[in-house]
Amino acid sequence: MKKLLLLVLAQIVNAQAPSGYYSSANGLSGASLKTALSSNITSGHQDKGYAGLWTAYKTTDIDKNYENDGSVLDIYSERPTSNDPYNFTVVNNQCGTYSTEGNCYNREHIVPQSFFNEASPMRNDIHFIRATDGKVNGMRSNYPFGKVGSTSFTSQNGSKLGSSSSTGFSGTVFEPIDEFKGDVARMVFYFVTRYQNQLSSFSSGNMLGSSAFPGLQTWELNVLLAWHNQDPVSQAEVNRNNASYAFQGNRNPFIDNPGYVNQIWGSQTPTQDTQSPTTVTNLTIPSKTSSSISLTWNPSTDNIAVTSYDVYMNGSFKSNINSTSTTVTGLNPSTTYSFYVKAKDAAGNASANSPTVSGTTNAGTTPSTNCVNETFETIPTSSASSYTTKTWTNGGITWTATDSRSDQTISNKAITVRSGSLKSSSFANGITSLTVTTQLKFSGTNGNLNVLVNGVNVGTIPYSTTATTTTINNINVSGNVVLTLVNNSSSNRVAIDNLVWTCSAGSARQSFSSLENTEVKELQVYPNPISSNEIFVKGETENILKATIYNLQGKVMQTISKPFKNGQSIKVNELPQGMYFLKLDELNLKFLVK
């Protein structure tokens, strides 16, 4: 029904636009037309803020063209020719939390906000941010749009997620139903026109180009041109454009005048991209262990966009990654390896080989013991979903997580860091290796956490949407150390769990096992747990010459000579919450500080 009516609407020029709104575009085509339209729709744009989108949806995203029932018009659940699987009431059904389709609606950025680091005004622009089902929005994540080949998820209206069958891209894509493919294309065309001067600073996401024109990667442009031509402008789009103009002060020119699309990009497939990215420079080895070598390099550039890098070791392909650093693991101790890197774009063009660098892995290390085993079960639960600085103490170590939330899980509780870090207090027994599990939460792109010991980078921990456990071996820093895991992304939310930190067995002043095995029952701490800076001990104490307090990692917290010369109690320094050992000469007692 839509198509019969809208073939006529698709030909309307400047539908509902003020007189002269597009006059500066007259007679132009290609990049010049795109630039003129960019100026038009930038002028008058009023940023109403991220929360303002909820207000906008009361007029922009109401169904007046299908059921006409006043429910939210959700392109991921709307069934144009039959009953919708569920309906949302504006305001009442805002997300909130969701686990299945139909729980609530939220704000779907057709161009994911992780591409532009959640910056304004892009994050708040009503013209490409739709009210959609929370579950389907989450499944779409930050994947580009394309034709799905093998399907991994299908929403209740037929929108699909799966591997791409679109020419030029083989990754995961999201495909809306035919009724809304043109809608999606015109929203993306709006975005790359409105923000064309900022594209070079955005992430491509295998979708955006890095230059003002054409503004999209070749394969994605081909997909969207086909969708625009196959699905003409609908009355629902016209209504939404008018409501968005009333709310925000600018318009989507590709709804007002669909012909602009072909005037700018052409109706046929654009010229095939044959230009290779530039050669990678400054390939270096910032750190190494006995079984791994870390690599970093400067980003390559391309006429459209660099999409990934191929890493070669000893002349053979090793891995393909989408960042400018990696750690090659599984290497042999005291062995020399050579590396070079090649940049690639979406069309498959590859750069020349970078200059080769060589590095020799460290020798094997001394035996180690698990000094720290942080499971994050004691992290603060107040304001769990808010990004704040959270501090807690466990096993004698105080942890500080900045820009973090504590409501996400991996194996159980986990700390999730956005644009911040997880940092330990100082620990006396050094660090030999680190094992940690990570997972990317919500939307975002794969990346790496930087691992710092005493402020020096010793490697990286990768993260993706799949929970992954990574070990960095042979860190081999002795003495007092502070461990920091840094998330430099302002948009990726990374959960961290099951952090195991090992130190050299020979460096521990007193091991947990030896303290526990020699614990005696003739003496007793009371009350236990203690609640002040005083420890009372029952039993024969008058002949004890020395008291030493250790945390569970074997670090000496306090030493006292002739501790019971004034009675049955010991005055102690303030201790963080956790478990400790009190060593009285050669006897040991366990106690808890609450």
| Residue that is written with structure tokens 């891995």 in the block | 319
Peptide bond into 214 cis (omega under 30): yes
Chain mean pLDDT for the chain: 86
By the 10 Å C-beta count (0-12 exposed, 13-18 middle, 19+ buried), 309 is classed as: buried
Q: Which of 265, 249, 270, 260 lies closest to 36 in space, CA to CA?
A: 260
Question: Rounded to whole angstroms, how far apart are CA atoms 127 and 41?
Answer: 11
Please tell me the total number of residues recorded for the chain in this structure. 594
Domain boundaries, the chain: 29-262, 281-360, 368-504, 512-593
Sheet holding 569-571, edge to edge: 524-526, 534-538, 569-571
Using CA atoms in the order 354, 360, 361, 363, what is the torsion angle rounded to 10 degrees? Answer: 180
pLDDT value at residue 513: 41
CATH of domain 512-593: 2.60.40.3080
Amino acid 540: pLDDT: 76
| CATH number for the domain formed by residue range(s) 281-360 | 2.60.40.10
The predicted pLDDT at position 308 comes to 79
Show the DSSP H helices in 10-86 as ranges: 30-42, 52-60
**pLDDT of 365:** 75
Give the separation between CA 207 and CA 218, rounded to whole angstroms: 9
Q: Quote the pLDDT of residue 11.
A: 38
Q: Which pLDDT belongs to residue 401?
A: 96
Displacement of CA 262 from its chain's centroid (Å): 35
Which phi and psi angles does 240 have, rounded to 5°?
-65, -40
pLDDT of residue 501: 86
Q: Under 8 Å CB-to-CB from 512, ≥6 apart: which residues?
A: 552, 553, 554
Strand, helix or coil for residue 304: coil
**Matching CATH topology for 281-360 and 512-593?**
yes
Q: What angle do CA 557, 562, 567 make, to 5 degrees?
A: 100
Task: Give the dihedral sign, CA 100/106/108/109.
Answer: negative
Q: How far is residue 357 CA from its own chain's centroid? A: 30
Q: Which of 273, 114, 274, 250 is nearest to 193 (CA)?
A: 250
pLDDT tens-digit series, residues 171-219? 899 999 999 999 999 999 999 999 999 999 999 999 999 899 999 998 9
Cα(201)–Cα(574) distance, integer angstroms: 49
- Burial category of 334 from C-beta neighbours within 10 Å (exposed 0-12, middle 13-18, buried 19 and up): exposed
Work out the angle between the directed axes of helices 235-248 and 2-9 (0-180°, nearest 10): 60
For residue 16, the Cα-to-chain-centroid distance in whole angstroms is 40
Positions in the chain whose pLDDT score sits under 50: 1-15, 268-270, 366-367, 505-521
Does residue 529 have a cis bond before it (omega within 30 degrees)? yes
Give me the architecture of the 368-504 domain, per CATH.
Sandwich (2.60)
Per-residue pLDDT at 283: 94
Query: Identity (one letter) of the amino acid at 469?
Result: T
Residue 520: predicted pLDDT: 40
pTM: 0.50
Supply angle C-alpha 583, 552, 431, rounded to 5: 125
